């Protein structure tokens, strides 16, 4: 079971004074993806990094850049993030006037498409797009900050989406993001998530032993 599970550590919890070496350490520690949280201080009440930082990180690793755009408007930045080196571009439907159009813009860049649902956002925002996307990102915290508490109510929504994906026999990943730790990672997987995002648990537990923390999340 665990080799089907991917771990995508969020660099929001990394040391921003040395992001380059942190990304290299994550690769060495066995991360499957690098989760990059982009925030604009408008869609969410926090401001992080933009395409220029991603462009600088890109040559340091071959690992998949799992870019989570918590920005609005989003369409006019898709090309920028694609050119900067994003591999998966995930957006929030509430951040665009037209979800179809945003999906097409990402497809045009030949990147993988993700749609992210905030804890209180219903599956109706993604249900009719499942055939056109690669990933559903279920937020298990309110977007904006690392280190928050996991919201277990999102597990029902996760199960529902997993059911639809299975019934339609689609190849869509389910990524869960926010407050994932050693205690709740197994219920997240049981609910249907096959990609776990983790910031604070990966960077802070076991004195910051990245390899050990990634392994525990993958295996538990």
Q: Which residues are catalytic?
A: 37, 177
DSSP E strand boundaries for 118-212: 135-139, 173-177, 195-198
Token code pair at residue 107: 């497809």
CA pair distance 131, 215, nearest whole angstrom: 32
Check residue 68 for interaction with Zn ion (CB under 5 A): yes
**Nearest residue to ligand DX5, by Cβ distance, number only:** 199
C-beta closer to ligand DX5: residue 35 or 162: 35
C-beta closer to Zn ion: residue 146 or 192: 146
Minimum CB separation of residue 68 from Zn ion in Å reads 4
Token code pair at residue 198: 């983790």
**Residue 111 in 3-state DSSP?**
coil
Partner from Zn ion, ligand DX5, none binding residue 192, C-beta < 5-8 Å depending on class: none
Binder among 22, 32, 37, 134 for Zn ion (CB under 5 A): 37
Check residue 40 for interaction with Zn ion (CB under 5 A): no
Token code pair at residue 202: 């990966």
C-beta closer to Zn ion: residue 5 or 167: 5
C-beta closer to ligand DX5: residue 164 or 215: 215
**Nearest residue to Zn ion, by Cβ distance, number only:** 68
Report the interface residues with ligand DX5, using CB under 6 A: 10, 12-13, 35, 37, 68, 70, 141, 143-144, 146-148, 177-180, 197-201
CA pair distance 84, 100, nearest whole angstrom: 23
Partner from Zn ion, ligand DX5, none binding residue 179, C-beta < 5-8 Å depending on class: ligand DX5
CA-closest candidate to residue 163, choices 119, 114, 123, 122: 123
Beta carbons of 139 and 177 less than 8 angstroms apart: yes
CA pair distance 8, 195, nearest whole angstrom: 7
Minimum CB separation of residue 39 from ligand DX5 in Å reads 7
Beta carbons of 36 and 67 less than 8 angstroms apart: yes
Letters for 153-182 (x = contact with Zn ion by CB under 5 A, - = none) are ------------------------x-----
CA-closest candidate to residue 113, choices 76, 69, 158: 69
Residues that bind Zn ion (CB under 5 A): 37, 68, 177
């Amino acid at each position: 079971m665990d080799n089907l599970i991917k771990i995508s550590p969020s660099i929001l919890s990394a040391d921003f004074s040395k992001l380059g070496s942190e990304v290299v350490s994550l690769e060495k520690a066995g991360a499957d993806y690098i989760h990059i949280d982009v925030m604009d201080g408008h869609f969410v009440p926090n401001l992080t990094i933009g395409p220029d930082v991603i462009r600088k990180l890109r040559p340091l690793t071959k690992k998949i850049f799992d870019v989570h755009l918590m920005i609005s408007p989003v369409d006019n930045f898709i090309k920028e993030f694609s050119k900067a080196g994003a591999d998966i571009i995930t957006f929030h439907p509430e951040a665009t006037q037209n979800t179809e159009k945003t999906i097409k813009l990402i497809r045009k860049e030949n990147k993988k498409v993700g749609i992210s649902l905030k804890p209180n956002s219903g599956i109706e925002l993604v249900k009719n797009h499942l055939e056109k996307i690669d990933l559903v990102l279920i937020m298990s915290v309110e977007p904006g900050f690392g280190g928050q508490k996991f919201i277990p109510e999102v597990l029902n929504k996760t199960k529902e989406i997993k059911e639809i994906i299975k019934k339609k026999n689609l190849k869509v990943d389910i990524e869960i993001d926010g407050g994932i730790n050693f205690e709740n990672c197994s219920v997240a997987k049981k609910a249907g998530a096959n990609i776990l995002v983790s910031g604070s648990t990966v960077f802070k537990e076991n004195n910051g032993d990245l390899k050990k923390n990634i392994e525990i999340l993958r295996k538990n």
